[in-house]
Amino acid sequence: METPAVPMPKDERERRILETLTVIQDNLLLLKRDRTKYIRTEDVMVLYDQLEEQVKQLNEVRKGELNKRENRLDKVLESCFQLISLFFMTIGRTTEAPAAYALTSTIKRLLDHLTEASLFSPKDLDSISNTLGKLESILKNSDAQHSPYLVELLANREALCKSMLANLRTQLDQLDGPIQAIYERLISIMRSMSLANTKSKFSLTEIQKFKSKLKEIEDSLVDGKFVDAEGTELRGSGAVAELLRRCLMWSDIVLERKGTIPESFKDKYNILINIRNDLEKLSITQAWSLRETDLYDFQRQLDKIDEARVDGNWLDHEGNPAELYVQRTLLYLIRRSYGYIYHLMYSSEPVSEALLPVYNQLQTLKRCLIEVKNSGGVGSVRELYPYSMKLNSIDNMRVDGKFMVGDDIPEGQGSVTELLAECFDLNYDLRVAVEALEEDSRRPSPAPQVAAQAAP
């Protein structure tokens, strides 16, 4: 476990707390690496209780101390909280305060990068705003359950993120309605070019198409300004015109470099490409392959590379800053990776990994049954047999109404049971509908009435 070089605590009491926290951290890492069995709630809660006790002691030691310089203890404590947070997600306790810690860390990173780059869309901000709203609700209901220190720390983080979010929204508010659509289109093109630039096979044609779209937007300018139908300059025209200039410049640079990274920065680039690709695969197969604690290693690698920047840029072995092309390419990969981590954390199901196989099967069954219902139902009761058999086999797994794994009762029983009930209801509705149709088809049709013909 690599911890950044920071001074050791001078206070002897803090040194003792650091020793205990280091043991807790090691135990968390060992538990994370053990893939031979499911992570049990009991194992996580034992380590969480130990962590809470050390936090309580640290608060007593530091009582009344303001703006204390950060030392190694703070770094190890942060690492422990990050791991515990991901463990809470893994065991399905996603609606409790500890689970929010890792998510707030990632949101803060994302907001830092959005602020630095000044490249963001309303959708970016809306997603983060919705997540912060859910975290606020979690914190309001956590006072009695968890460490007051943790709840206060999370509340402060949430407030900071909301403040940063408000500042970003203010920037968007400077744009008139019609020009916001152009702004969003430019953001989309810029990101698409950056994605194309980092593909394994560089496509000259793809970048040229994006440049053509930029040229179309440039042709709509009147004397270098964006104007309305009456010829009045739109509010925010200058900022969007500057963004257009940046996009065009980036397209020229990408076309010139064709995805080639200098050897001095190739190692960082390869690490970031691998992280981005691994996280992309996880985002596709998340339901079946993700253990949230695995995200810790990705975060540590990203944080290390991100924090290695000097005045916003990376330096090569000789201390020379990276050129603009390299800087933007590496930053795109970092930001994209943090975005994937945010998505994976946000999408974490409130179910223990021990129950995920059953939960995922039910999710698939539900989607299939809804699709069958929306496409007009089934033609006969026989067509429902596979769904009924699968649902009954899952239902029969329960012991006294609970899904057991060995002697354990994993978290998420309510979510799995509710999903099972929804599937049974959908299956029943389809059965009733097809039985009604079959009943109608068996009824004899009424004899046709022959109209009497009048005699001539």
Of 93, 128, 149, the one marking the end of a domain is: 93
> Residue 402 carries which side chain, given as an amino acid letter?
K
Residue 226 domain flag: yes
Asked if 358 contacts 394 with a C-beta cutoff of 8 angstroms, the reply is yes
Residue 8 domain flag: yes
Residue 339 domain flag: no
- What is the per-residue burial (b if ≥16 Cβ within 10 Å, else e) of 63-87? eeeeeeeebbbbbbbebbbbbbbbb
Residue 225 domain flag: yes
Is 167 exposed, middle or buried, given 0-12, 13-18 or 19+ CB atoms closer than 10 A?
A: exposed
For residue 289, give both structure tokens: 């392959």
Residue 347 domain flag: no
Place of tokens 């920037």: 171
pLDDT of residue 300: 94
Of 257, 290, 320, the one marking the end of a domain is: 257
pLDDT tens for 390-429 read: 999 999 999 999 999 888 899 999 999 999 999 999 999 9
pLDDT of residue 5: 63
Residue 265 domain flag: no
Low-confidence stretches of the chain (pLDDT < 70) are: 1-5, 64-68, 143-144, 287, 443-456
Residue 308 domain flag: no
Number of domains, the chain = 3
| Domain boundaries, position 241 | 177-257
Residue 294 domain flag: no
Cα torsion for 275, 280, 283, 286, to the nearest 10°? -70
pLDDT of residue 447: 56
pLDDT of residue 127: 93
Of 72, 93, 114, the one marking the end of a domain is: 93
